[in-house]
Structure 1
Amino acid sequence: MKLKDKAVIITGGAGGIGSGMARAMAKEGAKVAIVDLNEEQGNAVLSELQEISPDSMFIKADLTEREKLHEIVDTVVEKYGKLDVLVNNAHASRQVNFEDTTQADMDFSFDTGFYPTFYLMQSAFPHLKESKGSVINFASGAGLEGQKTQTAYAAAKEAIRAISKVAANEWGEYGINVNIISPIAMTPGVEAWSKEHPETFEAIVSKVPMKRWGDPEKDIGPIAVFLASEDSNYMTGQTLMADGGSIQIR
């Protein structure tokens, strides 16, 4: 029970990597608050979580409403009396060639990924300072390698990495660690896409040294648990590649 009684926020927790991390953390004793716009799916995941961790909760929120983001942190602290871990997982974007990327495309990516990460970190800071807590943010190979059609997504993901490193340097003295996961995982969206484009999918999988995409709970979840636990207390500002060896940072 590495996360026993820790209070955790996970954005985008109603599906994919978010719900995988939520299950993994709940099984380690965490009280998990999943945040998502999809109420039906969020409540379905909550039912699963409450069988493992009865105090878990679902918060319906539109992360593009910046002025309301602090309410997420306030709600969690009011319920649990503290906040130990903030996981900024939610992010959406459109795939467009560089020359066709519009301001609207850039705004959509930053409004759903970068800005929620930034403002939630600011709102969470005083509470994480009290708990000597953790922030887990998300990067992507799209930004690390400059993948085609990912201009807006890559830009936002690298911006998230940048502010994560700044916060790691500034908040380290308070015992707060800030780290980043860069994953590859088989989510429902990826699975649907793989069935529509089987040849492209197989070509991508063949380039992964471990020859498979990760499982949100079994492969990404334990890394999130590690970063949220006392085991990672002396690690901050790092990007952990949970991608089967696809990108090897030097």
Structure 2
Amino acid sequence: MSKLNGKTAIITGGAGGIGFGIAKAFAKEKANVVLVDVNEETGQKAAEHLKNSGADSLFIHADLTDHAALSSIVDKTVETFGGLDVLVNNAHASKMASFLETTKEDMDLSFNTGFYPTFYLMQAASPHLKKTEGSIINFASGAGINGDANQLSYAAAKEAIRGMTRVAANELGQFGINVNLISPIANSEGVQEWAANNPEYYKKVLGNIPMQRFGDPEEDIGKAAVFLASDDSNYMTGQTLMLDGGSTKLR
């Protein structure tokens, strides 16, 4: 029996990188996958890829900074598939800058693409997740947990998401909704571009990963997301799952 058979999942930033890795892992477990992305061409191709592999998939083109329109993502999903079981808040954009050089615009970019979409989509999805006793998967980062240099705007938004996730876990647990976080290091397209532009820093990061590799978006991150979205994790909530090859050990 497939772990997500018949379940419907929304994945933001689902057209590439970690988001698409999760989408492919979900599709293999027979989930209905809704990809949300600002890149329409890539999103359509990603949805077609899933359909060609036998999965039921829907692409929704959306700018997550248009916060007033975010509830329509949930509405269209429920209208298409009849319900909602899983919300994956993966999308996030940010700009690297030192603490002293970070601007309000940098902070706004990070919070408007990461924290606020996560917040509004969680609120919009919760009434439907109550009906299915579903799951929310949010994303944290070692940048926030460890306070990485030059990552202020990203770290701040990610730690805000962690705080919100813990509150939501406490409040939504009574409805059978589990709310957890993934903190990944993965070999996404964005990381590959960053590595090409920052080869020395890439080597330093890689050298600090005990398993000596970056995770695979589908095999390492996607499969763990399947666990969090499935009945196997029904008694787990409010937790940060470190999928970083052992780089960070939470205490």
TM range (shorter): over 0.9
Deviations 1:2-37, CA, capped at 9 Å, x for gaps:
000100000000110000000000000100000000
Are 1:105 and 1:152, in contact at CA under 8 Å, matched by a contact in 2? yes
Residue 118 of structure 1: how far off its partner (Å): 0.1
Which residue identity does 1:34 align to in structure 2?
L
Looking at structure 2, the residues matched to 37 and 119 of structure 1 have their Cα atoms a distance apart, in angstroms, of 17
Looking at structure 2, the residues matched to 188 and 77 of structure 1 have their Cα atoms a distance apart, in angstroms, of 30
Partner of 1:3: 4
Partner of 2:25: 24
Partner of 1:130: 131
Q: How does 1:54-203 map to 2 (within 5 A)?
A: 54-203=55-204
Question: Which runs of structure 1 show a deviation greater than 4 angstroms over 4 or more consecutive aligned residues?
Answer: none
Residue 54 of structure 1: how far off its partner (Å): 3.7
Partner of 2:41: 40
Deviations 1:122-162, CA, capped at 9 Å, x for gaps:
00010000000000000000100000111111110000000
Q: CA RMSD in A?
A: 0.8
Looking at structure 2, the residues matched to 28 and 230 of structure 1 have their Cα atoms a distance apart, in angstroms, of 13
Are 2:33 and 2:55, in contact at CA under 8 Å, matched by a contact in 1? no
Count of matched residue positions in the alignment of Structure 1 and Structure 2: 250
Residue 204 of structure 1: how far off its partner (Å): 1.3
**Is 1:50 aligned with 2:51?**
yes
Partner of 2:225: 224
Residue 206 of structure 1: how far off its partner (Å): 1.0
Which residue identity does 1:86 align to in structure 2?
L
Are 1:109 and 1:153, in contact at CA under 8 Å, matched by a contact in 2? yes
Identity %, equivalent residues: 61
Are 1:142 and 1:153, in contact at CA under 8 Å, matched by a contact in 2? yes
Residue 198 of structure 1: how far off its partner (Å): 2.4
Residue 195 of structure 1: how far off its partner (Å): 2.4
Looking at structure 2, the residues matched to 83 and 100 of structure 1 have their Cα atoms a distance apart, in angstroms, of 42
Are 1:30 and 1:53, in contact at CA under 8 Å, matched by a contact in 2? no
Partner of 1:211: 212
- TM-score by structure 2 length? 0.98
Looking at structure 2, the residues matched to 25 and 151 of structure 1 have their Cα atoms a distance apart, in angstroms, of 32
Are 1:64 and 1:116, in contact at CA under 8 Å, matched by a contact in 2? yes
Looking at structure 2, the residues matched to 173 and 73 of structure 1 have their Cα atoms a distance apart, in angstroms, of 22
Q: Residue 118 of structure 2: SS of its match in structure 1?
A: helix
Are 1:21 and 1:221, in contact at CA under 8 Å, matched by a contact in 2? yes
Q: Is there any run of 5+ residues in structure 2 with no aligned partner, and where?
A: none
Counterparts in 2 of 1:88 and 1:28: CA distance versus 1, 3 Å: same
